Amino acid sequence: MPSKNRLFLLSGLVVLLAVLSVAFAPFAVSNGIRLWIWWAAKQEGFIATIDQIDASFLRPVVIRQLHLKSTRENALRVDLTATYVSVGLNFKHILLHTGGRIIHSLSIRELRVEVRRTNPNVRAITRRGWAALQRLLPENLSIANSEMRVENGPTLILLRRGFLSASETEAGRFSAAEIMIASPWLRQTFSQLRGATHWEANRLTLGGLTLSRGLDLQSATADFSRLGKQRVGVQFDVDVFGGKIRGNISHEWRSQHSNWKIAGGASDISLGQTSDAFGFADRVDGLLHAANFTFRGNLAEPDHITASLWGELTGLTWRNRTAEAIMLGAAVYNRKIELQQLYIRQKNNQLVLSGEAAFPTNASGWLSPDFRGNISASIDQLGDFVALFGADPDDFAGKITIEGAMDTRDRKFGGHLAVVGASLTFFKTAIDSLTAELNLRPVELEVEQLEIKRKNDLLSGQGKIDLSGAHNYSGTLEARADNLFDYFASFRVPAGKT
């Protein structure tokens, strides 16, 4: 065959192959995508329903409607519906199996998602599924309208009419008509939210978002770069009622139980603005001057939890209670809670408490923890100090110091206290001086020394008081009084009555 004819035949074959590729590519691509979605969903325990796939040559693939629903009864319950999904595929990375992104662009006209989780130890998908999800992260993303409902135990999160666009080459935007968070500890709704987005290296940053008056999200970055290794993270910076909150949260679930790492700090947050924003019935004033918090572990495994907390409140005022400074430092490790220091300062009044407690095994244990610690108090204005704990300040006055140790176990108290007071008033009764040495045991109170002086009057003694059901007591008591009527003034008969 002449070379001219061979060249003509070869050219014809190339043209024929090109025509066949153009003709059959949409069929092959659409059916290939349908088959892959069905297979991948089945591997992870989902049923995939696909309405129609349009795959024009060299154009984005369009899925008219995609519905995914979990089938395993003991698994994470997921119900997802995506309408008019446009996917721009990068065939170079798909065919050559290179490490780049296989999706250039992803656009969803309408997305509805419901997620329900009742068992925190239930796995959502397999490790292979997470790796596949990371490869499916696109270069450009757009969701025109989204509705989401997430339930995790008693916590509910709702997103209504959400919009999201994110790109690696230009700034995107985010908006939501409403976000609602409802839990046993918090119930809050944020409306008409708008902010900017940035997408780079599998990290999505959201910033410039005003949540409510006095609450502005400067930036929040969700890190999906290790999603395939079953780890995600979030960093955030929030302006909160005149102050700042910064934090870093990461979650890893490769092992049998998930592991959390949390670190955060706060500074100069106005308690007055916080009180107004959340609508407290009784206004609270003051300043959260500084605070730091760390946590590592899983609440389902208290043996491996480590945590720390340090905070300082200044200028606290609530109802008729005031305190110039309250400082708290605590740590959790080896199923123990170490109270490094609880310090309360109110004018010239000071209280310091430290000790440790066993980590409760159940919720009711928090109401009666096993605690062992030391107490030191120097009170110059007793009335003001007891008001901080709800007592009537008019019933108490004077100076008092307390030093000692105490412990609680199985709802029983023990310890030793040394009390010295001067110029005291208890329920309208004046006392010049008070000295006491007390030993508190589970079944009895031992008074090693008791001495009370008022003018020329004296009361002293020692003894034991049974705290069990028998209420027996023993000891010695010596008293001297010039006028007993001074101590029974409330029993005097008013003038003119018999």
Tell me the average pLDDT across 149-175. 92
Which of 279, 285, 319, 317 has its CA nearest to residue 186? 279
Least confident of 50-64, 74-88, 182-196: 50-64
Tell me the average pLDDT across 125-138. 87
User: What is the reported pLDDT for 398?
Assistant: 92
Residue 1 reports pLDDT greater than 90: no
Residue 286 reports pLDDT greater than 50: yes
Distance CA 369, CA 411 (A): 8
User: What is the reported pLDDT for 367?
Assistant: 63
Burial classification of residue 441, based on how many CB atoms lie within 10 Å of its CB (0-12 exposed, 13-18 middle, 19 or more buried): middle
User: What is the reported pLDDT for 191?
Assistant: 93
- The rounded mean pLDDT for the chain is 84
Residue 276, SS3?
A: helix
Residue 342 reports pLDDT greater than 80: yes
User: What is the reported pLDDT for 470?
Assistant: 64
Confidence band (pLDDT; 50, 70, 90) for 487? low
pLDDT (tens digit per residue) in 12-58: 555 545 554 544 556 667 778 888 888 988 888 889 998 888 877 66
User: What is the reported pLDDT for 497?
Assistant: 44
Q: What percentage of the chain has pLDDT greater than the value 90?
A: 40
Question: Helices 127-135 and 3-43 sit at what angle, rounded to 10 degrees?
Answer: 130
Q: Where are the alpha helices (DSSP H) in 202-347?
A: 271-278
Q: To the nearest 10°, report the CA torsion of 25, 29, 30, 31.
A: 110
Least confident of 78-82, 158-162, 464-468: 464-468
243-252 and 429-440 strand pairing: unpaired
Confidence band (pLDDT; 50, 70, 90) for 491? very low
Contacts of 22 (CB under 8 A, 6+ apart): 57
Confidence band (pLDDT; 50, 70, 90) for 430? confident
